[in-house]
Amino acid sequence: MNYEVIDSHCHLDFPKFNRDRHETIERARSSGVVAMINSGIDYRTNAESLELAKKYEFIHATLGLSPQMVPDANEEKLKQILAQIERNVDRAVGIGEAGLDFYYCTTNAGRKRQEDIFRKVIDIADRYNKTLVIHGRDGEDLALEMTTDLDRVVFHCYGGSLETMKNIVDAGHYVSVPTLVCFSEQHKAIAKNLSLEHMLIETDSPYLSPRKGRNEPAFVLDSVPIIAGLKGMDENDVAMATVQNTRRAFGL
């Protein structure tokens, strides 16, 4: 394995990396991870993502507002995060992760609130012409419907239906395959059926590890041979295509 890859979605600012953050980043670099996109989910993680991007030239920040925090957050807090995103938009390669999480949120009122806030995030991405990174768990169809006017959209850690995925690709958007593809049948089917021109790869670390324990950006390499095998392709081609797609998707 001597190809280069990009981890298109990770959370290196999370507490799970507090004791060895720099070592983790160095490990990824020496494994062949040429760039990492660190995604914010709220006020604190947005600020920390910007700090990481400032400290390491190969780490890029996206500024987000996770749907998981929306149902319980007060208006003031949500306004602060939206203002923070807008204020720092020039320092970010994308907006997100943001979107809909109907897996955890089952009440109509909570889902409606997620939709309302997501609209505001979409508006920022639209006005500043930034790539939007979508968290769309069990709400992929609606998230696609809501973002039809945007040019650059990434469905991060996609786990929806193959039919919706086809519609996402037909709309010209990108779909990111997580390291779950190493052991999840659903994600194997997604990777197999997803056109290489629209594929990104990610760890979503510290979550979804293909090994025991904590996930980290270096492990994004684990998914390349799996995807290559599913598609009957050369590993280098998968790695190269996903790097080019990520650069294109985020204007790197």
Cα–Cα distance, 116 to 212 (Å, whole number): 38
Name the pTM for this structure: 0.97
Judge whether residue 1 has pLDDT over 80: no
Query: pLDDT digits over 13-47, tens only?
Result: 999 999 999 999 999 999 999 999 999 999 999 99
Sheet holding 131-135, edge to edge: 5-10, 33-39, 59-65, 94-99, 131-135, 153-155, 174-178, 199-202
Number of folded domains that form the chain: 1
Answer yes or no: are the C-beta atoms of 159 and 137 closer than 8 Å: yes
Give burial (CB, 10 Å; 0-12/13-18/19+) of 110: middle
Q: What is the pLDDT of residue 83?
A: 98
The predicted model gives 176-181 an average pLDDT of: 98
Q: What is the pLDDT of residue 189?
A: 98
Q: CATH number of the domain that 153 lies in?
A: 3.20.20.140
% of the chain surpassing 90 pLDDT = 97
Selection from 165, 236, 242, 163 nearest residue 196 by Cα: 242
Q: Give residue 228's domain range.
A: 5-250
Average pLDDT value over all residues in the chain: 97
